[in-house]
Amino acid sequence: RRGIRRISTGVKALDELLGGGIETKAITELVGEFGSGKTQLCHQLSIIVQLPEDRGGLKAKALYVDTENTFRPERIMQIAKYRGLDPQEALRNILYARAYNSDHQMMIIEESKKIIEKENIGLIVIDSLVAHFRSEYPGRENLAERQQKLNHHIAQLLRIADIYNVAVVVTNQVVAQPDVFFGNPLKPAGGNVIAHGATYRVWLRKGKENVRIAKIFDSPYHPEREVTFRITEEGVVD
Ligand code: GTP
Ligand code: MG
């Protein structure tokens, strides 16, 4: 597509799988169980977006929407240092917003247009996209309302990504599929709304110790191949 730019994940194998990194004008969903590396990748992308183009970035800032209070400034500074950036400056280039509930989360995204128009934003992170929606609209009786709100939220994210040529990265949880006896007993939360709304879907799972495994799913354009990476003191690495 025209005008799209790419942000390196900082992991060569993962970049290759994604066709060069995560794309602007698109929503990339990171889905996986707890500890699979979703938040660590969000941290790392918020740093790499700041690097110049020849090092995989966009020389731009990140907007980080944190719904679960898992943003770690010390971790940002640690990874930034490894990537050759001034840690304090790297942290300042991440515009942080804590979303306290789903309405607040949607409002932050609505308001983000004003910030993007003023600041050079290359990446929007929402970690996690679905957590508030799932806890505020539990059960079957709330499903329709929840999915309708999520749908609106995702459509707005996609519009912003497209208009401002920014990348959007969201995290998603996995939920049990109790009726599945063969195959994967886990599936991404958010149902069809996220399945259709996310441009690219990356499934992360845990390997031994600090090893993590990633694959792209639901995409006719990407290989089903799996790649591995590690989470270390330096961040997310090959
Ligand atoms: P949930 O949000 O709980 O669903 O998990 P997540 O997918 O966001 O996992 P996250 O990205 O938080 O990954 C957690 C893993 O990263 C931990 O199990 C640690 O192994 C590793 N990790 C996190 N912080 C550090 C750190 O500062 N140093 C090192 N070496 N590893 C870290
Ligand atoms: Mg997390």
Write out the binding residues: 32-39
Are 19 and 13 in contact, with CB atoms under 8 Å apart? no
Residue minimizing CA distance to atom 4 of ligand 1: 34
Q: Does the pLDDT of residue 238 top 80, yes or no?
A: yes
Read off the pLDDT of residues 179-230 as tens digits, 9 standing for 90 and up. Answer: 777 888 899 998 889 999 999 999 999 999 999 999 999 888 888 889 999 9
Contacts of 105 (CB under 8 A, 6+ apart): 65, 67, 99, 126, 132, 153
What pLDDT does residue 31 have? 98
Question: What's the gap in Å between 172 CA and the centre of ligand 2?
Answer: 9
Percent of the chain whose pLDDT exceeds 90: 89
Residue pair 27/158 in contact (Cβ under 8 Å)? The answer is yes
Compute the distance from residue 40 Cα to the ligand 2 centre, in Å: 7
Q: What is the pTM of this model?
A: 0.97
Ligand 1 atom closest to Cα of 233? Answer: 30
Query: What number does the ligand 1 atom closest to the CA of 40 have?
Result: 11
Please state the residue numbers annotated as binding site for ATP. Answer: 32-39
What span, in angstroms and rounded, lies between the C-alpha atoms of 114 and 222? Answer: 35
Which residues are placed with Cβ below 5 angstroms of ligand 2, an ion?
Answer: 38-39, 70
Spatial separation of the C-alpha atoms in residues 33 and 175, rounded to whole Å: 9
Q: What is the mean pLDDT of the chain?
A: 96
| Cis, bond preceding 128 (omega within 30 deg of 0) | yes
Euclidean distance between CA atoms 228 and 238, whole angstroms: 7
CA of 170 to the centre of ligand 2 (A): 11
Asked if residue 138 has pLDDT above 70, the reply is yes
Find the 29 Cα to ligand 1 centroid distance in Å.
Answer: 17
pLDDT at 14: 97
CA distances, 238 to each of 164, 169, 204, 225, 229 (Å): 31, 20, 14, 16, 5
Q: What are 15-25's pLDDT values in tens digits?
A: 999 999 999 99
Closest CA to 41 of 81, 102, 49: 49
The reported pLDDT for the residue numbered 1 is: 61
